[in-house]
Amino acid sequence: MIEFKLDPKSGVPFYRQIIDQIRYGVASGRLTVGEQLPTVRALAVQLKVNLNTVNKAYKELEIQSVLEMQQGTGTFIGPISVQIPNSERQNKLANICSEFLSIASSYGFSIEEMINELQKRQGGKP
């Protein structure tokens, strides 16, 4: 199971962030075929968003066959394989890094300090 997180500062609509997190979760293998996702209501409460936001994301993923929604049973990862194009992956990483660099540098951290901290978190040597 993945831990959903929404970034209100990103400018990306919440439903789109949910869609992307599920797609990336399936593509990376962190979400597997048949795995159950939280109900629309449970995820909306967890993320503190409107039910329609989660419902819209789930419905779009159901149309793409990424999710299977079974009335009374729940929402499950479908049998479709999700491939994220390299260009999309690179753009996503670039956006994440830009935001990270902007925030960290506004607090006065150098790139070397940021790299050292990232390496420590991955078990690497600073």
Q: E-assigned strands of 1-126?
A: 36-37, 67-70, 74-77
Name residues of the chain where pLDDT drops below 70.
124-126
User: Domains, the chain, ranges and CATH?
Assistant: 14-77 (1.10.10.10), 86-121 (no CATH)
Whole-prediction pTM: 0.79
Structure tokens at 72: 């009374």
Q: Which residue has the tokens 């491939």?
A: 83
- Contacts (Cβ under 8 Å, ≥6 apart) of 80: 64, 65, 66
Q: Each residue of 34-50: pLDDT tens digit?
A: 999 999 999 999 999 99
- In total, the chain counts a number of residues equal to 126
